[in-house]
Amino acid sequence: MKQSPKQSTETTKKSAEAPTRRRITEFRQAARAALPLTLPVLTGFLFLGIAFGVLMQTKGYHVGWSVLMSICVFGGSIQFIAVTLLTVAFNPLQAFLMSLLVNARHLFYGLSMLDRYRGLGKIRAFLVFALCDETYSIVSSVAVPSTINKKYFYIIVSAADYLYWVIGTLCGGLLGRFVSFNTKGLDFVLTALFVVLFIEQFKTKENRLPGIIGLACTTVGLALAGPQNLILPSMGLILVSLLIMRKIQCS
């Protein structure tokens, strides 16, 4: 807290400016709470963004195209698949359907954010647009302290993660060829993020059974459908299991 006494007297003096100043202070406090949590995403997204930028460049696509795609699509897995799609025949329908399938898990993210993202005004459209795996894992797992402005917290996490991805793509497209240190295994930082947030969720007793259901159903989904197509079957199993669990708990 670096609020100088001088600043607070100034705010009372000019009451017209007071709301703006209060907003700035609240924004700073939210940034201090939110930005450290996005550091793993910064590491992971710069690394994967660079990898994506380099990959696009090796297929002959100018850095501008890579950045445009990161700005418009903002989805890791589908963008890597897109690199392959851009090197075969022009088929936008296939790209659209693929994008729907690969990103189907976002449907569940939205369902869990309906309450948290309520009453936030127009900015909600941006928060929904930018609701990727990593942003979702943070905003759905972290209990925002009551002293922190929730709206600002959500905006900062979402905007930071979005920028990391776009900047990473830009760096990859511009200078990725010159990166030569051994980065093997660095992408594990995002796995580590999900593992830690899973443990954080597990702290709350009611979350334990759903957490185990998530692990078990996805393992079954992987065994049944294989690594390429596990998302939809796993989501189906999770939904059915959770509804059965609710039925048993209610009765």
Partner 1 sequence: MLLNPFEIIIMIIALAAGTMITRFTPFLLFPEGKTQPAVITWLGKALPPAMMGLLVIYCLRHVSFTAAPHGLPEFLAIGAIALVHLWRRNVLLSIGGGTVLYMILVQLVFA
Helix (H) or strand (E) holding 80: helix 76-85
Residues 151-180 that bind partner 1 (CB under 8 A): none
Q: How far is the CB of 156 from partner 1 (least distance, A)?
A: 16
Q: Which among 1-9, 33-41, 154-162, 165-173 is the span making contact with partner 1, rule CB under 8 A?
A: 33-41
Question: Shortest Cβ distance from residue 17 to partner 1 (Å)?
Answer: 31
Tokens matching residue 241 = 């299991």
Q: Report CA Rg, the chain.
A: 21
Phi, psi values for residue 31, rounded to 5°: -65, -40
Which position has the token pair 């600043």? 7
- Binding-site string for partner 1 from residue 58 to residue 97, where x marks contact by CB under 8 A and - marks none: -xxxx--x--xx--xxxx--xx--x--xxxx-x-xx-xxx
Minimum CB–partner distance for residue 2 and partner 1 (Å): 22
Question: What sections of 142-204 are H helices per DSSP?
Answer: 150-175, 188-202
- Is the CB of 6 or the CB of 184 nearer to partner 1? 184
Answer for which of 202, 224, 236, 240 binds partner 1 (CB under 8 A) is 202
Task: Report the nearest approach of partner 1 to the CB of residue 204 (Å).
Answer: 8
Stretch that binds partner 1, among 5-13, 21-29, 145-153, 186-194 (CB under 8 A): 186-194
Q: How many CB atoms lie within 10 A of CB 155?
A: 21
Q: 57 and 177 in contact (C-beta within 8 Å)? A: yes
Least Cβ distance, residue 175 to partner 1 (angstroms): 20
CB of 1 to partner 1, least distance (A): 21
Instruction: Say if residues 90 and 118 touch (Cβ distance below 8 Å).
Output: no
**Nearest approach, Cβ of 141 to partner 1 (angstroms)?**
6
Alpha-carbon distance of 14 to 26, in angstroms, equals 18
Residue 74, by phi and psi: left (phi above 0), alpha (psi -120 to 50) or beta? left
Residues 1-30 that bind partner 1 (CB under 8 A): none
Nearer to partner 1, 14 or 246 (CB): 246
Query: What letters, b where the CB count within 10 A reaches 16 and e where it falls short, cover 137-151?
Result: bbbebeebeeebbbb
Segment 93 to 152, residues that bind partner 1, using CB under 8 A: 93, 95-100, 103-115, 117-119, 124, 128-129, 131, 133, 136-137, 140-141
Asked if residue 171 lies in contact with residue 53, where contact means CB atoms within 8 angstroms, the answer is yes
194 binds partner 1 (CB under 8 A): yes
Residues 222-251 that bind partner 1 (CB under 8 A): 222, 227, 230-231, 234-235, 238-239, 242-243, 245-246
